[in-house]
Amino acid sequence: MTTWVSVLVIGLGTILLLGVSWRSFRHSRSHGVFRFFAAEAVLGLVVLNAPVWFRQPGAPAQLLSWALLAVSLGLAVQGFYLLHRLGGPARPAPGSPLFRIENTSALVTVGAYRYIRHPLYASGLFLAWGATLKAPSPLAILLALVATGFLVLTARAEETENLARFGEAYRAYMARTRLFIPFIW
C-alpha cells in the first residue's frame, strides 16, 4: 500500500469513526471516548501491516495471527447477535452517547458472555494482536499496546455504566466472569 493510500485510508477511517463516536465526545467519561482511541490504534495497525497481510501464510506467526483474527471475528459476530437478540436493545434517550444495541434492558450472560464480560472489546483485543503478528515491529507492538490500554479503559468505563444500570446483578456477574479472556483475564 502506497503512502498516500495509507494516509487516505486512515483519514477516511478516522472520519468514519468520528461520525460513529461524535456523541460520546460530549460525555468525556463515556466508554465510547476510549473505544474511539482503541479503534484508531487498530485502524493504524491494520493499515501499517496491510502490505504483508498474506505473506508467508504457513509461518508460525501468520498461523497464530489468523487464529487470533478468527477468534476476533467469532466473538464479534456472537457478541452483536446476543446483545441484539437477548439484550432487549431500546432506543437511547436523546443526547445519550449509547447506540441502540448498547442500550440493553437485560443483562446478557450466555454464550461468550457466560465467561467474559466484554466479548466485543475482547474481539478488538484479538484483532489488534492478530494484526500485530502479521509483521511485528516496534510501531506495531506500540499500537497494539495502545489499543489494549484503551480497550481496558473502555471496559472499565462501561462497567461503571453497567453497575449503574443493572446494580447488584452486574456486580455478581463481575464476580463470576473475566474481563476479556475466559479463566485468565
Question: How does pLDDT run across 17-69, given as a tens digit for each residue?
Answer: 888 777 777 766 778 789 999 999 999 999 999 999 999 989 999 999 999 99
CA-to-CA distance for 98 and 31, rounded, in angstroms?
9
> Which residue, among 127, 129, 122, has the nearest Cα to 151 in the 3D structure?
122
Residues in the chain: 185
At 24 the pLDDT is: 73
CA-to-CA distance for 172 and 140, rounded, in angstroms?
37
Q: With contact defined as beta carbons under 8 Å apart, do 100 and 120 qualify?
A: no
Q: Where are the domains of the chain?
A: 3-176
CA-to-CA distance for 167 and 150, rounded, in angstroms?
24
At 20 the pLDDT is: 79
At 127 the pLDDT is: 98
Enumerate residue ranges in the chain where pLDDT < 70. Answer: 1, 27-28, 89-102
Cell numbers 467474559 correspond to 116
Q: At what angle do helices 138-166 and 168-176 cross, to 10 degrees?
A: 140
At 100 the pLDDT is: 57
At 29 the pLDDT is: 76
At 86 the pLDDT is: 92
At 116 the pLDDT is: 98
